[in-house]
Structure 1
Amino acid sequence: MPVSKPRKPRPSRARGLRTTTGCLTCRKRRVKCDEGKPHCGQCLKSERECTYAYSTEHSRPTGASGQEATTSPAQPKASVVADSPMTRKSIGSAGLFGESPELRFDLSPVALSTSLPSPNSAPFEWYDLLAEDAINNIQKHNQGSAQISLSRRQSPVPDAESDIDPQLQAAEPNRPANAGSNYEPWKSSDVIPLNDDEIGLFHHYINVLGPVLDLLDPLKHFSNLVPKLAVHNVGLLKSLLALSARHMALLSDHQSPQQAFNAHTPVSHSSAQEPVALSSPLLELGTQYYYETLQYLSQNLLYPAYNKSAEIIATAILISMYEMFDSSGRYSNGAWEHHMRGIFWIQRSQDNNGETKDGLRRAAWWMWLRQDIWVAFRESRRVLTIWRPTKRLVDLTPDELATRIVYICARCVDFAANEKQFDMNIRIDQGDKLLQALEDWYRILPPSFQPIYTHSVPQSGLFAPIWIHPPSYAAAIQMFHFARIVVLINQPSLGGMSEFSRRQRFLDESVESICGIALVHQGNDLPSAFVNYQALYAAGLCVQTPVKQNAVMQLLEKTLDVTKFPPKTLLDDLTSHWRAES
């Protein structure tokens, strides 16, 4: 009988069968991983997707010279950028050159499960939402005289210009005699005249509100192009004036309209924490312009060319911002929540997205997504977009990197929304993918995202001011930390105390960065403040000591004094969260 060779002793499960440093694929397959980057040998051999978990202090990224990267207060130790200039080709992460993990995240079931209107009917469905809410408000405040022209749509959608009601075509007294087939009756060839009060509102929009809309748009379409379109389109002009009057009503309910018209920068008022009374002259003026915008839409949506125009997209965004200010912090079952879905329909009907070639349409899409992220986060729902970027991180310009973090942030809000029914291991894996996507984005940032000045020692309080310029890059870093906090506080953990300590360290680093940036930008920069209040609220969700809670609360209150939105009931929500966690 042949003598069998002695078997090698099987290593214990605690010592030889598992690894915590290999790729996620090998760990799931329970095979040995050589930890090759960007793809390990096992995944290359079997042609499997190779993804690594979120890096820890034992696997920090390195710069081109191979030296460990250093950090600053704005750069957490787990997500750093090398001090020396780093070429994008020198970074070996698979997510940078291939498909980034956030692009593989499931599409939003909120959007997919909702019956979408046809491209032709989308503008009408959007108008129906607006008219329904407007009629309810009219009835609530006994403004019956305005209800006559705001009835909901009754007529079908025309398929072509020839299907337009002849009476509507005949009601064009200013149509040029030599107008050809390209004549667009919903536009004015002459500049629409404005009175003195409207000039003041126009100035307020250009100097104050346009920059808020343009924070992440280097070409500043809402400040530069939209006003030029508005003076030739009544609907866009009325929505612009409505937005300006509504915002000035938030700034002060004590000034006269003429005094407010002359204010080109926001002024803090303690009374602004409460919704402005309906008797406010500025609020009444804004409401009047809003109803006139809806009246214009009811008459001109019958023109298919208008429904595909840049003017209707710009009008939709301005109306959305008007409803944001008008919502008083209430999102569900309100005009603003309805309008988010309505704009989603219009964007889909025009095939607009974050990579659309037309600059205004692209800027409008990103602005809409920024608004929807906050509503979705507060309402614990998924964002509405079902679009996915096609460009790789390595191919993006710095300004495009600033907008890409908005998309990744949307996917992080998706993760936090309604996935609690999933298996814990699936939740952990999803969270790891999103954390890896955030890591990939942060590591590829060029030096222009670095702080231009950081106080080494806090001047006062707990946080050192961090100055990042331009403000759009500071806003991108704020959204990065907002997204990271959202994932970390919603991802299950099986790692025990060591994993808990590691996560808390990352959360503390994000809180320090958020508050440090807010210290510099919240005082006099309205566009930045509209990002800072969201990041500060997220920071407040993960601070535990009363001293830090008080510091975050003071920063958030000062920021809300600048934005006037949302109302300071947001502070009460944060206080209630701390009380429930204690």
Structure 2
Amino acid sequence: MPAPPAGVHKPRKPRPSRARGLRTTTGCLTCRKRRVKCDESKPRCRQCFKSDRECLYDPSIDITAPPTASKEAASQQATPVHAPTSHSLTSPGAQNSIAKGIDPQLFIHSPELRFDLSPLTFSAGLPSPNSAPFEWYDLLAEDAINNIEKHNLGFDQVCLSRRQSPAPESHVDPTLESPDQNHALESSSQEPWNSQDVITLSNDELGLFQHYINLVGPVLDLFDPSAPFSNVVPRLAVHNVGLLKSLLAVAARHMALHSESPPQQANRLNADVSHSSSGAHDSNGIETQLSHVATQYYYETLHYLSQNLLYPSYTRSGEIISTAILISTYEMFDAQGKYSDGGWERHLRGIFWIQRSQGNNGESEDCLRKAVWWAWLRQDIWVAFRESRRTLTIWRPTKRLMDLSPDELATRIVYISARCVDFAATEKHYDMNIRIDQGDKLLQALDDWYQILPPAFKPIYTLSTPESGMFVPIWIHPPSYAGAIQMFHFARIVVLINQPSMGGMQAFRQRQRLLDESVETICGIAMMHQERDLPSAFVNYQALYAAGLCVQTPSKQRAILQLLERTLQITRFPPKTLLDDLANYWRAES
């Protein structure tokens, strides 16, 4: 080969940059254009979130893949399109994400699944699974005996003592270990703690029974279209004395709360059942009479428990967890009653113990056990939020967002809300950077959930102009989806008002914009569902209270107070002192 001419250098092969392998090509397009470090969070990275910029990703790049292609990745790429895989996109959530142009991989590992579990549930004082029902009952009995002595109720305290000798049991039905709904209904009447024949009801008891099915059951069933509290629990109750007594107790207590309702409101609530056989119209007398009736049924429920807890099959049954949540609901309605001593908040921990002993959670195959778990969590979220403590649950969902049905998405936001309440209760001496990072993860989890929602969660109709000049009514149907959107904005407010910020004016404006959006949506939904749907009102009051925590203008404060007061007229829970709490909070912040 001839030598090159003098003075002409031989061209060298281009050498890759020394930084090759250290730079990433998987950040968002916005950060790459700005040449800033991207944490690759989706659907919006932290840099874009802080600077309020549009966050876009190259759809051809999968950030979950390793930098270098492995043999396993190559074999996956060679898989035929029609071959089934573990990430097959057949669920409604996955199909919806594809339709929106959203990468389904974003929702495989949602951040709320990695949030720290509650330290309250990992103490050495947790009862064993076998003793959990007894520990729960002891909480109830101790408070009940104190009330009997304090108020001279005249109820026999001895009846609340547990039997000392074990109850005979010829067999343990294996279906009670992990019961199927139909099998549970078929086999329950064969147990010694159940009645084989349908229990006879008096006329007054039948009225209370109907009141429960028409009004109380739907409140507990809001997020469950199969309505197990309205359909399954009554069928079990007519064969189980303890469950029946707890059902009548909560119905009587709820009816007592509404005994002073004006006639038009009573009609809206379908509360047309006679309050007493005498037909008296004295509201104070009716309320007192119903309160005494409810208290009597409550103590009779405890008496039944004291006589039947020693049946092992009963402590593992659907009847006992149904009884537990109905007792809890009774105590919730009775939270400001004459004989209340704050036991409801403490007794929620006992229900956690029972469900833990049975292995129940939000994904249980048995619909009743799953429904009880979600009803319990909704109650615990409110108590934890008001007491600035963490929720009691230690369960983590196993299903991915993309695999959830629309109804399952509605309940998933309840779980995410629980994690957000946990964040608000986290010890404030944590490192500020850790707190900011935790808040960002929860905000991302909320955004992931919101982005994957199907069109059914969008408003059916929104009025063009506000009725009162303040908030625009928003109509979302069915009510469970409206409640889910309310819970989403409740949770987002809880995180935003508890997350520290190290940003400047831009970050402040972004945060305020999100808070204003949540307030507008919460109040708009509450206006549209106001006085029309009792179950929805039990989500409205919680969301409205949170909305009130982040408004500063007097006009909006007055509007929220009016909405909240009207909602409390429907729910009769929590007490109207909640209005004073909100007003006192505004005065302290001004």
Q: TM-score w.r.t. structure 2 length?
A: 0.79
- Decide whether aligned partners of structure 1 residues 208 and 62 sit closer, same or farther in structure 2, where only a CA change above 3 A counts: farther
- Work out whether residues 221 and 229 of structure 2, in 8 Å CA contact, stay in contact via their aligned partners in 1: yes
**Residues 337-376 of structure 1 mapped to structure 2, 5 A cutoff:** 337-376=345-384
Instruction: Give, in angstroms, the shift of residue 312 of structure 1.
Output: 0.6
CA–CA separation in structure 2 for the residues paired with 1:446 and 1:531: 21
C-alpha separation in 2, matches of 1:39 and 1:544: 31
| Alignment-mate amino acid for residue 303 of structure 2 | Q
Q: Is the 8 A contact 1:95 1:101 kept in 2?
A: no
Amino acid at match of 2:126: L
Post-superposition Cα deviations, 1:17-42, rounded to whole Å, max 9, x if no partner, equal xx9x968xx99xxx9646767699xx
User: What is the one-letter code of the residue matched to 1:136?
Assistant: N
The aligned counterpart of 2:155 is 145
- Code of the residue aligned with 1:90 in structure 2: it is G
Between 490-499 and 387-396, report the one with greater CA deviation: 490-499
Long gaps (5+) in structure 1: 1-18, 41-49, 65-83, 165-179, 268-274
**Is 1:300 equivalent to 2:308 in the alignment?**
yes
C-alpha contact 2:390 2:422 (8 A) present in aligned 1: yes
Corresponding letter in the other structure for 2:144: A
User: Residue 194 of structure 1 aligns with which residue?
Assistant: 201
Judging changes above 3 Å, is the alpha-carbon distance between structure 1 residues 467 and 157 closer, same or farther for their aligned structure 2 residues? farther
Q: Is the Cα–Cα contact under 8 Å of residues 120 and 157 in structure 1 kept in the other structure?
A: no
Q: Does 1:91 align with 2:102?
A: yes
**Pairing 1:185-334 to 2, within 5 Å after superposition:** 185-252=192-259, 264-265=270-271, 280-328=288-336, 334=342
Question: For this pair of structures, how many residues does the alignment match?
Answer: 504
- AA in 2 matched with 1:542: C
Residue of structure 1 equivalent to 2:13 = none
Q: Which of 539, 563, 566 is equivalent to 1:558?
A: 566
Instruction: Assess, with a 3 A threshold, how the Cα gap between structure 1 residues 39 and 150 changes in structure 2: closer, same or farther.
Output: closer
Aligned to 2:122, what secondary structure does the other structure show? Answer: helix
**Over residues 240-286 of structure 1, what are the superposed CA-to-partner deviations in whole Å (9 max), with x where a residue is unaligned?**
00000000111125999xxx99973499xxxxxxx989980000000
Change (3 A) 1:386 1:103: same
Q: What secondary structure, in the 3-state scheme, does the structure 1 residue paired with 2:548 have?
A: helix
Aligned residue in 2 for 1:58:
53
In 1, the alpha carbon distance for the partners of 2:408 and 2:157 equals: 44
Matches within 5 A, 1:475-514: 475-514=483-522
Residue 161 of structure 1 deviates from its aligned partner by 3.5
CA distance in 2, matches of 1:418, 1:103: 17
Secondary structure in 1 aligned to 2:549? helix
The answer for the alignment partner of 2:343 in structure 1 is: 335
Q: Secondary structure at the match of 1:458?
A: coil
- Checking the alignment, whether the CA contact within 8 Å between 2:96 and 2:452 is kept in structure 1 is no
1:515 to 505, 523, 535: 523
Match of 1:465 among 470, 473, 494: 473
Q: What does residue 402 of structure 1 align with?
A: 410
* Counterpart code for 2:478: P
Alpha-carbon separation, structure 2, partners of 1:280 and 1:333: 18
Instruction: Measure the CA separation in 2 of the matches of 1:554 and 1:261.
Output: 22
Q: Any unmatched runs of 5+ in structure 2?
A: 1-23, 60-94, 173-186, 274-282
- CA deviations on 1:77-123 (whole Å, 9 max, x unpaired) are xxxxxxx96536832275412x1101110000011125211111111
For 1:108, the equivalent position in structure 2 comes to: 118
TM-score of the aligned structures, taking structure 1 as reference length:
0.80
Match of 1:12 in 2: none
What is the CA–CA distance in structure 1 between the aligned matches of 2:284 and 2:124, rounded to whole Å? Answer: 35
Judging changes above 3 Å, is the alpha-carbon distance between structure 1 residues 578 and 426 closer, same or farther for their aligned structure 2 residues? Answer: same
Superposition RMSD in Å: 3.6
Distance 1:453 1:95, change over 3 A: same
Q: Is the 8 A contact 2:43 2:55 kept in 1?
A: no
Number of the residue aligned with 1:155: 164
Within 2, Cα distance between the matches of 1:248 and 1:123? 29
Query: Following the alignment from structure 1 to structure 2, what is the Cα–Cα distance between the partners of residues 232 and 131?
Result: 24
CA distance in 2, matches of 1:380, 1:87: 39
- 2:401 is aligned to 393
**Inter-partner Cα distance in structure 1 for 2:106 and 2:160:** 50
The percent identity for this pair of structures is 68
Structure 1 residues 39 and 528, CA, compared in 2 at 3 Å: closer, same or farther?
closer
User: Post-superposition shift, 1:397?
Assistant: 0.4
